[in-house]
Chain A
Amino acid sequence: MSIGGRGVVTRRAKRRGHKRAPVSAAVLALVIEQPSHGYEVWQRFEARFGGLFEVGSSRIYQAVDSLLADGLIEVLPGARDGSRRQPRPRYRATADGARAHRAWLAEELHGDPARLELNRRLLATAADDAATLRDLVDRYEQACLDEMAALRTAAQPAAAAPGGDAATVRDRLLAEERRLVLDARIKWILFARRQLQTAAPHRSAAEPS
């Protein structure tokens, strides 16, 4: 679950001139990792990103179509699955797709756009309106707690030790970053609430009841 939902990220991405939502970027990453047909992409998306994005297969096929239209992926020549009545094309990334993916990753490393957007909205709220700020902090907190409840333990902790297979170690690293970011967010929320509790009585005394 992301704060603000995909819509926030998408609008921000569009303002910056990018056309890809996080789901499309994830699909592009999967195709870069391994050329696949649409159904395989969906299966791998579920295995890799399940819990982070809750989307159906149709959204994955839309993302594939969008990436095709943008020239970021292409049909792998001669790799159609001939055993089916309707051969399924396999997709691979184009050079533009690989470049776009690297640029997207670099940009994401600077911060979580959804969080930044939420914080911007929080700060843009009228400073006098303590009740609204408190409500926003409460909602932000619940979203963070829900995200925390979706954290999963490693299935085989022993394999995640240094020297474990690369995919497990990578998943572990990503999960730890997510956990630490959540820790920082929750601490910020507790700080914000105390600030509001300290500040609110002065204003509320002047406010009409």
Chain B
Amino acid sequence: MTLLALAHATKRFTSGQREKVALDDASLEVDAGECVAVYGLRRSGRTTLLRVAAGILPLDEGELRFGGRPLPERAAGVLGVEIGWCNPQFDAAHGGTVADHVAVGLLARGAGRSRARERAAAALERTGASACAGYDPRELHADELVRAGIARALVTRPRLLLLDEPTNGVDVLERDGILALLRSLADAGAGVLMTVGEPVAGADRVLTLDGGRLRGHAVPEQAPVVPLRPRHVEPVA
């Protein structure tokens, strides 16, 4: 099932007399259960792509659909609920501990404190960040921040996860753990769209973004068939 469909999307930014085309006729679909990575260098338009996909930025041209319906700018009840924006930055105003930050999305939507706490603990468990629950986010390592950021998005049980460079700044030995987590979330049925500044493992499709132009397999049907799981079966001697 197609979760996110971006069709011929163009987004321009103007600064004085200069105009920058951040997205140039970009088309992309992400299915449920699929992990899609978009490789781009700095200023390639990768963050704009995610902000457009989240419905944060309005398009100048083209169309954005989520779950088969047009997604208007800042649509209520979609971003932060059905679309999870995984951000490793934590605002101290939202709480003191990681558990507070992860629970805040539910509390803001009227959930009771104990239920929000329970769901936050489950989300942290799912992302392998349970041990971080009682820490101040400023005490966490880069990979723990990413896991906590994913947990904060997961707490509302979104259908689509958006991540801007989830492996940026993460120790190389921890990187695969983050990617394996995203792979497992996709295998569990979520759609995952991430931008990356380096090749990453675990994606079903990889596209490049340069000068606002997306290249690669824009829709799942064009993707090569690759094994979803690593084959680690050692033969019997």
- Say whether, besides A46-B231, A141-B208, A153-B183, A148 and B203 are in contact (CB < 8 Å): yes
Comparing B67-75, B106-114, B193-201, the segment that makes contact with chain A is B193-201
Q: Is the CB of B177 within 8 A of A157?
A: yes
Chain A neighbourhood of B226, CB < 8 A = 51, 149-150
Q: Is the CB of B230 within 8 A of A155?
A: yes
Q: How far is the CB of B171 from chain A (nearest CB, A)?
A: 10
What is the CA–CA distance of A40 and B234 in the complex, to the nearest angstrom? 11
Number of residues on chain A facing chain B (CB within 8 A)? 39
Q: Is the CB of B235 within 8 A of A193?
A: no
> Do most interface residues of chain B lie in helix, strand or loop, or is the interface mixed?
loop
- Say whether, besides A157-B177, A160-B173, A152 and B216 are in contact (CB < 8 Å): no
Q: How far is the CB of B130 from chain A (nearest CB, A)?
A: 15
Q: Is the CB of B231 within 8 A of A47?
A: yes
Chain A neighbourhood of B237, CB < 8 A = 34, 36, 40
Q: How far is the CB of A167 from chain B (nearest CB, A)?
A: 8
Among B179, B180, B207, B235, the residue within 8 A (CB) of A145 is B207
Contact with A along B208-237 (1 / 0, CB 8 A): 101100011100000110110111111111
Q: Is the CB of A50 within 8 A of B231?
A: yes
Contact with B along A12-38 (1 / 0, CB 8 A): 000000000000000000000010100
CB contacts between A and B, total, < 8 Å: 104
Chain A neighbourhood of B206, CB < 8 A = 145, 148-149
Q: Give residues of chain B (136-175) contacting chain A, Cβ–Cβ below 8 Å.
A: 172-174
What is the CA–CA distance of A179 and B167 in the complex, to the nearest angstrom? 14
Among A1, A154, A167, A190, the residue within 8 A (CB) of B176 is A154
30 A–B contacts, CB within 8 A, in A order: A1-B224, A36-B237, A44-B235, A47-B231, A47-B232, A47-B233, A51-B227, A141-B215, A142-B215, A142-B216, A145-B216, A145-B217, A149-B204, A150-B226, A151-B200, A152-B229, A153-B179, A153-B183, A153-B202, A154-B176, A155-B232, A157-B176, A167-B234, A175-B201, A183-B199, A186-B39, A186-B199, A186-B208, A190-B208, A190-B210
Which of A's residues lie within 8 Å of B, judged by CB?
1, 34, 36, 40, 43-44, 46-47, 50-51, 138, 141-142, 145-146, 148-155, 157-158, 160-161, 167, 175-176, 179, 182-183, 186-187, 189-190, 193-194
Which of B's residues lie within 8 Å of A, judged by CB?
37, 39, 41, 172-174, 176-177, 179-180, 183, 198-208, 210-211, 215-217, 223-224, 226-227, 229-237
Q: Apart from A148-B199, A157-B173, A183-B198, what 16 extra A-B contacts exist at CB < 8 Å?
A: A1-B224, A40-B236, A44-B235, A47-B232, A51-B227, A138-B215, A149-B204, A151-B199, A152-B229, A153-B180, A155-B180, A157-B174, A157-B180, A160-B176, A167-B234, A189-B208
